[in-house]
DNA sequence: GAGAAATATTTCACGAGTAAAACACCTGCT
DNA sequence: AGCAGGTGTTTTACTCGTGAAATATTTCTC
């Protein structure tokens, strides 16, 4: 099973990189591990470590335009789900759509309702279920923030050239398909 | 500044992919946004969204071997920092090394000390600083877990072929260098 | 050499997420 | 009809991380 992906830490095959690419922190960490345990295949760290670190850094930076609007990223994800689907969603649909737990969705809905960004109505047939929709204010807020957010994200990513971004998106997509497909049934 | 990376959502240039690559959830989300706001450049989402989603999925799956040892990932990161540097570290060095806040490090040190995985001694010169080191038990634990962890991560990533993994690691490294360098001074 | 500023670490109060229990309601079986 | 079990949502109890204040010590400055 073990893919022996034992290539050198930095010797990339991509023809783009012309010269002196500085070392990122993950490379440094991996280097340390390799001197302590030269026998181990540290390949996975270079992907997983970097994904985690990128996620952390991006989250910190990325959320700047959101914070200005007084929203956290999970809150924005919830509003965004309502906006992009274009129709009402039940709380359980929102948990699926935003990949978070039911309890978290309940709390966020409470807050967002109090702020008048979201409304709920009960189902007429099944009185267990609720239907949540954006208020006008909520829709306007999302529509106002989204372009700012995307513009900001664009500049954050601009350190990587365009073909690089395309490749990165594609590779992450391939990985994600595998993870989403296979990960439910992995109990190693 | 805006990199017009307006390529089709899935039409990749990588010569490897032979056929029917299924759509990942992020692609679906991006598709929804594009029908609602056809004018927006959703390029950044395909990277940032995927990084976040991958990080979330990996974290969930990846930590399985750690949990068996009763460690959370942040705890393991702390122990790992001590192991890979090979010498004692002060709490502040640990905050830098593990990218977490001072308060978090203090709490984790308390727990790990109680469990006998870590020891502390005061500095002789400067009585403000503490020096933390792994106990024998701590070192043995890290050395026992790390290979399992890496093997597990290898199988988790095995859905992506070897050259793909190499490219992905390289691209993430390039992005990370940019983020780590530039992100401190971004106040947009 | 006595404050003033700086540095290392811990404590505190709080917000946010989670799993599991609780609750409310529906549905299918007999 | 009546109830066993399933489903949608909320509540509860708890953990963990955070920023800001508190504490303890050193270093600078005059």
Q: What is the CATH number of the domain that holds B67?
A: 1.10.10.10
> Residues, chain A, total?
188
- Residue A120 phi, psi dihedral angles, 5° rounding: -130, 150
The partner residue sitting opposite B25, judged by closest CB among A43, A168, A180, is A180
B63 secondary structure, DSSP code: T
Contacts of B77 (CB under 8 A, 6+ apart): B98, B100
Element (H, E) at B118: strand B118-122
Q: Are A103 and A42 contained in the same domain?
A: no
How many CB atoms are closer than 10 A to CB B23?
Answer: 14
Strand C neighbours (CB under 7 Å) are A 72, 74, 100-104, 107-108, 111, 125-128; B 90-93, 102-103, 105-107, 109-110, 126, 128-130
| pLDDT given at position B119 | 96
Q: Is residue B132 part of a domain?
A: yes
Q: Is residue B123 part of a domain?
A: yes
Q: Is residue A137 part of a domain?
A: yes
Q: Are A102 and A124 contained in the same domain?
A: yes
Range of the domain at A104: 72-147
Q: How far is CA B75 from CA A10, A53, B108, in A?
A: 28, 16, 7
Tokens 């023809």 belong to residue: A15
Q: Are B95 and B102 in contact (CB under 8 A)?
A: yes
- CA pair distance B45, B180, nearest whole angstrom: 20
How many CB atoms are closer than 10 A to CB B161?
Answer: 14
Dihedral of the alpha carbons of B109, B112, B118, B124, in degrees to the nearest 10: 30
Tokens 């790990």 belong to residue: B112
Strand D contact nucleotides, protein CB < 7 Å? 6-13, 16-20, 24-27
Q: Is residue A164 part of a domain?
A: no
- CA pair distance B104, B110, nearest whole angstrom: 10
pLDDT 10s digits, A111-124: 999 999 999 999 99
Q: Are A46 and A76 contained in the same domain?
A: no
Predicted TM-score of the model (pTM): 0.85
Tokens of B181: 């360098």
The partner residue sitting opposite B164, judged by closest CB among A171, A186, A187, is A171
Tokens 């350190």 belong to residue: A159
Cβ separation of A188 and B65 shorter than 8 Å? Answer: yes
A145-152: average pLDDT? 92
| pLDDT given at position A8 | 45
Q: How far is CA B121 from CA B75, B106, B131, B133, in A?
A: 20, 14, 5, 9
Q: Are A41 and A77 contained in the same domain?
A: no
A42-59: average pLDDT? 92
- CA pair distance A75, A139, nearest whole angstrom: 13
Q: Are A56 and A116 contained in the same domain?
A: no
pLDDT band at B150 (very low <50, low <70, confident <90, very high): very high
CA-derived radius of gyration, chain B: 21
Q: Which residue has the higher pLDDT, B20 or B96?
A: B96
Mutate which: A173, A180, A187, vs B, most B CBs within 10 A? A173
As for how many domains chain B has, the answer is 1
pLDDT band at A18 (very low <50, low <70, confident <90, very high): low
At residue A89, the 3 state secondary structure works out as strand
């Amino acid at each position: 099973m073990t893919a022996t992906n034992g290539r050198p830490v930095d010797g990339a095959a991509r023809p783009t990189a012309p010269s002196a690419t500085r070392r990122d922190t993950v490379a440094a960490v991996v280097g340390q591990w390799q001197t302590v345990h030269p026998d181990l295949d540290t390949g996975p760290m270079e992907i997983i470590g970097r994904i985690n670190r990128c996620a952390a850094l991006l989250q910190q930076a990325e959320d700047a335009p959101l914070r200005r609007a007084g929203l956290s990223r999970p809150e924005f994800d919830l509003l965004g789900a309502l906006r992009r689907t274009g129709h009402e969603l039940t709380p359980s649909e929102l948990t699926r759509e935003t990949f978070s737990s039911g309890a978290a969705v309940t709390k966020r809905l409470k807050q967002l309702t109090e702020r008048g960004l979201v409304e709920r109505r009960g189902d007429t047939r099944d009185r267990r279920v609720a239907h949540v929709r954006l208020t006008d204010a909520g829709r306007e807020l999302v529509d106002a923030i989204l372009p700012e957010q995307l513009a900001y994200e664009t500049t954050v990513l601009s350190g990587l050239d365009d073909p690089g971004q395309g490749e990165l998106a594609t590779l992450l997509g391939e990985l994600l398909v595998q993870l989403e497909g296979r990960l439910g049934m992995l109990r190693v």
